[in-house]
Amino acid sequence: MDSTNILIAGVGGQGSLLASNVLGVLFSNAGLDVKCSEVHGMSQRGGGVITYMRAGKKVYAPIVPKGEADFLIAFEQLEALRWMSHVKPGGKVFFSTQTVPPLPVLTGAAAYPQGVVEEIIKQFPGSLALDALELARASGSEKTANVVVLGAASNMLPYGADAWQAALAACIKPQFLDMNRKAFEAGRSA
């Protein structure tokens, strides 16, 4: 594989940018060239946030073309559904079963789709849906749900515990590090 192509999807405030920073440090520490591009769609009002990330010996552009992502890491199930067209055949989707109703649902103009989890698993067997919010609460704070999902996805990347711990320590303030390490391990064990 020339590069590892990852999409990280969520809504504003779910920690998509922290997750991309951790992955960026992980890949950089491994000596890889890393390119990222972030799109913030009204993220302060619950809009979508997507990060394209590519890492390899030499990477020339950050955008992951449709159908070429090795992994989709999503912090909300509708965002996972929205972006799964970018995942290549045989790729994996790691996502939280959390729902964050978009504005049309909140205003009553639309209904939140049913069967999202089942649809993603059907299209990408071997993917993982997890109750990241509950695992995060058990780790000390629901704000670590993003790190839970990252921990689950970490099993598919060829980096050991020390490399992940170094990346977490480089991106998370010391006062929150232990809690995030617990969340990461909860996801890794899920």
pLDDT over threshold 80, residue 12 = yes
| pLDDT value at residue 42 | 55
| pLDDT value at residue 13 | 82
List the chain domain ranges: 3-99+116-189
Nearest to 130 by CA among 168, 7, 121, 82: 121
Which position has the token pair 């997750």?
Answer: 19
Burial bucket for residue 176 (CB in 10 Å: 0-12, 13-18, 19+) = middle
Q: Full-prediction pTM beyond 0.75? A: yes
Residue 39 pLDDT grade (very low, low, confident, very high; cuts 50, 70, 90): confident
Consecutive H or E run containing 56: strand 48-56
| pLDDT value at residue 48 | 83
Using one digit for the tens of pLDDT, what is the confidence trace for 164-175?
999 999 999 999
**Candidate ranges 42-56, 96-110, 163-177; pick with highest mean pLDDT:** 163-177
Residue 33 pLDDT grade (very low, low, confident, very high; cuts 50, 70, 90): very high
Residues 6+ away with beta carbon under 8 Å from 122: none
Q: Could you confirm whether domain 3-99+116-189 is CATH 3.40.190.10? A: no
At residue 33, the 3 state secondary structure works out as: strand
